[in-house]
Structure 1
Amino acid sequence: MAGIGFELKKLFKNRGLMANVRAYLYSIFVTVGPIVISVVVITLLQFLLKNIGIERYKREVLQATIMYSFIFSVIFVSGYCMMLSRYLSDRLYLGKKEDVLPALYGSLSIILIISGIIGFVFYYRSPLNTIYKFFAYLLFVELIIEMVLSVYISAVKDYKRVAYSFLYGTLLAIMTGYILMTYTILDKILSVLIAFDLCILVVIILLAYEIQKYFREKSTLYFNFIKYFSDFYLIFCTNIFYTVGLYAHNFVFWGLPEMNHIVENTYVYAPSYDIPSFYAFLSIIPTMVMFVVKVETAFYEKYRNYFYLINNGACYEDIEVAKNEMKNVIFKELVYIMEIQLFFSIGFMILGIKLLPFIGFTSNMIDMYNILVLGYYCVIIMFVIMTILLYYDNKRNACLVALNFMITSFLFTFITINIAESYYGLGFFIAGLVSVIFAIVQLIVYFNNIEYNIFCVQVSWKEKSGGFLSELIDRINKIGG
């Protein structure tokens, strides 16, 4: 976030409409750029398949392959990336830049072994063509590598080169897909999958080059970051719970016989629910952008000033003024984000009713889409509050919010699907509503007792010595050296 924040502050210093437009466009790219690019690439390649007359069931194979690769790569790596992000931030803060690149190598080696085995076992039993399975497996692995690299990208200040990396990958994928489908005898869905693999591979190569160019120094502490799992396991759990909660309602529908669809005895999904869920998810993009802008340009300044006064022995009156200013900014910007996102959510619902029938949505799918938009509205506000709690190192309550969301997402979806078809999607909305209320209560309670939480409940920053894990990691690092 630091690299993003510095750039945003520079852009917002310039007054005028165009300066603000540039700042928001920059925010859109760094926050949701990969999502938008992936959607564009997949949509264009699917459009090509449909236009050249490829059967629907073959397009479903490709759709399921990409969906599974994205969902399970995110789930497997989300908590892991959270830990890496914390480790990277601490190394940079302490000025130990030489430890950053070795942690990348060490983390990739571990996560690729674990996820690689899981992916191999999954595709080993699949009756899909062996060549197709290889490229499907490759996509899953590539997405995991890209997500790990994305942790490091925020520390690389040259965002233009990062933008070009995604742009080059996108253009190459579209051209390659078109050439393979038009001028070769390869199976058409295999051609698209190869093109998408190539897109992610190009992005990985270019991002890895930028990261290695920025972090030139190297130590021998390849696995030092593993120690963070014992000290900050709540951060790891928070991201895992939140990510699983995002897809829990989909998983419940995958197990519903009248809704699920089995593709080539490999993939199970519920297209009549998953597709409305995907489009509803896109409605929260405005908050993903606004939150970064508001945190880095409004909240962070008050936050930093408050702790600066505490750490430098300011008088009680000044600290109290700074605290009230910080609290006012947080709640003011939170209400602002809620209002703007509500405006966009209603807009998405209106547009969905008018436009989605043109791409095959039935009336039941429209109803599910509308209730899911409201559900995602609650979820993204919950995510904002959860992130604010983590800003204050309130890991326990942030983890409780994420755990509550995961459990209620499973529970209420399971309950509502057993009532009637008209209740489909309502379970996710109730889970989001319960979770956002729970998160708001946690935030209010924290700020009502902020002095106690800051001065009496903070963990010791002294490094822990001893312990089997620390000793084991030290020995592994020495061997690596």
Structure 2
Amino acid sequence: MAGIGFKLNRMMQNESISGNILAFTYSTIISAGPWIITSFTLYLLLSKNFFLSAFKIIANISNFFGISLIKTNAFEKIINDYFSVALVYSFVFSTLITGGVLMVISRVISDNIYLKKYDNIFSDTLNIIFFTNIIASFLAIIFFIFNPNSPLDFKLSFIYLLVSLCTLWISAVSAVSTDDYGKYLIGFAISGFSSLIFAFIFGYNYGYSGSIFGYGLGISAGSSYMLYIIGNNFGFSFNFDFTWFNGFKKYWTNLLIGTFYYFALWIDDLMTWYSNYGRGFKNIQGFRLSFIYDSPMFVAYFSTIPTMAMFVLVLETYFYKKYKTFYNTIIEGGSYTEIEYAKKDMITEMKSNISMVIKFQLIITVILFLINEILDIMGMVTISSLILRIAVVGAFLNGVYLMITLLLLYFDFRKEVIYLHFMTFLINLISTPIILNIYGINGMGYGYTIAFLVGTYLGYNLLLKKLDKIIQIEFNRQKTSMPKGYVVEYEDIKKYVEEK
């Protein structure tokens, strides 16, 4: 994040409108660019109108070279239930599997950069990818053992897609540490558009298994480019060893933080899929989806992109300056009054930044909510649009919750974040099925929203309490060479003197 902060600060140095707009655009690209590229690719792939137009162009080109493509049922041949199920499940479970891993590897890479052990980065990345993919494949095989009634080619292509996505997420974290953000985004662009093309080509020739495999192949193309970026910046040195495992032992709290957050994020989807409001698929045993719930939640998540961009912008510019001043005052031996003043200044800036980001996101949430209501008035309401009402509120709270927990991590309150994530996960896990059973479709999204409402409220209060005592906390964190002893209170000394 430091490299991002330096670039953002340079853009905002002259405090001009153009500089601020450029900084916000840059922040959006870095924080949400990969998500935008991936989502846009999926939209194009699953859009029948786009598909048919693309097919027509490709068919004309093929005819020019004497190759005849049959248009009949081409869309259904490539885009079908098998492909949709594989895509959704591989995306969800790849984030669940790698969520904690990414939190650890980011810290391990940071340590290696700080210690200038650049040769370890490429090697550690490949080793972690290898062992994570073994775990992912093992879990997928266990799932298929309990749900055997699916075609073998579907099982194999699904496992490949799952593994390719796990590889992409891990290699992306290492690639962004190079500070070469242009090439980092090119990597995601390669993944997005290669997966689009390969899914089309392989799907047309080999059906659903071809489209799944083709999509995974495109993802692998982007991952390969990112691994090249890592090696080109830090060296292609590789040793097959377990030294990376020390990072997992040292930062086991990071592993739990990432894992619990993604479970808190996805558990309501899983509960809805396997409720009475989910839909099973013929010949794909064990897989279920709920399109009436998944679609509005996807739209709601998209509404948080500006929040993440704005948060990265203010965190790495305005807040970071106060944060750095506070810790520099401590390190340089400032007086207690100076440290206390720096602390208050930092907290004031933090509150101001949080307020600004919340107001910014609130405007977007209200606009999306009003658009949904206007469509309702025009008679264009659907079940999904009703769910969207609460989904945008839940996504808004999730964005604020994530912002607060990241601030807690900024001050290294890792165990506190674990408790928050686990509590939010439990609330979502328990409340979602209860509300669904009582209110049915009308209750969709409320468990998710309630969980992040409680998490946001408790997280913000915890953050304020911790920062109120941050001076004592930081001094208690320091290791001293003083021997253990005891404390004598001034009042006790005064009493002893008076007695004598």
Q: TM-score range by the shorter chain?
A: 0.7 to 0.9
1:327 to 331, 337, 347: 347
After TM superposition, the structure 1 stretch with the greater mean CA deviation from structure 2, 137-146 or 41-50, is 41-50
Q: How is 1:13-412 mapped onto 2 (pairs within 5 angstroms)? A: 13-48=13-48, 51=52, 53=73, 54-55=75-76, 59-123=80-144, 125-179=147-201, 185-187=205-207, 189-216=208-235, 218=237, 222-262=241-281, 264-354=284-374, 363-412=382-431
Amino acid at match of 2:126: Y
Mapped to 1, the partners of 2:171 and 2:296 lie a distance apart of 30
Amino acid at match of 1:406: F
Mapped to 2, the partners of 1:293 and 1:418 lie a distance apart of 42
Q: Indicate the SS of the match to 2:304.
A: helix
Amino acid at match of 1:149: S
1:428 to 434, 448, 451: 448
- The structure-2 alpha-carbon separation of the partners of 1:356 and 1:138, relative to structure 1 and needing over 3 Å to count, comes to farther
How far off its partner does 1:55 sit? 4.6
After TM superposition, the structure 1 stretch with the greater mean CA deviation from structure 2, 444-453 or 226-235, is 226-235
Counterpart contact for 2:85–2:289, Cα < 8 Å: yes
Amino acid at match of 1:80: V
How far off its partner does 1:412 sit? 1.5
Counterpart contact for 2:46–2:79, Cα < 8 Å: no
Mapped to 2, the partners of 1:68 and 1:281 lie a distance apart of 17
Partner of 2:6: 6
- The structure-2 alpha-carbon separation of the partners of 1:219 and 1:162, relative to structure 1 and needing over 3 Å to count, comes to closer
Superposition TM-score, scaled by structure 1 size: 0.87
Mapped to 2, the partners of 1:12 and 1:126 lie a distance apart of 57
Counterpart contact for 2:268–2:429, Cα < 8 Å: yes
Mapped to 2, the partners of 1:399 and 1:140 lie a distance apart of 26
Mapped to 1, the partners of 2:185 and 2:171 lie a distance apart of 14
Counterpart contact for 1:91–1:97, Cα < 8 Å: yes
Q: Indicate the SS of the match to 1:224.
A: coil
Partner of 2:66: none
Mapped to 2, the partners of 1:356 and 1:78 lie a distance apart of 37
- The structure-2 alpha-carbon separation of the partners of 1:394 and 1:221, relative to structure 1 and needing over 3 Å to count, comes to farther
After TM superposition, the structure 1 stretch with the greater mean CA deviation from structure 2, 244-253 or 54-63, is 54-63
- The structure-2 alpha-carbon separation of the partners of 1:344 and 1:123, relative to structure 1 and needing over 3 Å to count, comes to same
Aligned residues: 457
After TM superposition, the structure 1 stretch with the greater mean CA deviation from structure 2, 286-295 or 348-357, is 348-357
- The structure-2 alpha-carbon separation of the partners of 1:126 and 1:290, relative to structure 1 and needing over 3 Å to count, comes to farther
- The structure-2 alpha-carbon separation of the partners of 1:408 and 1:106, relative to structure 1 and needing over 3 Å to count, comes to same
Q: Gaps (5+ residues) in structure 2? A: 53-70, 482-500
Mapped to 1, the partners of 2:183 and 2:91 lie a distance apart of 24
Amino acid at match of 1:404: M
Q: Indicate the SS of the match to 1:157.
A: coil
How far off its partner does 1:20 sit? 2.6
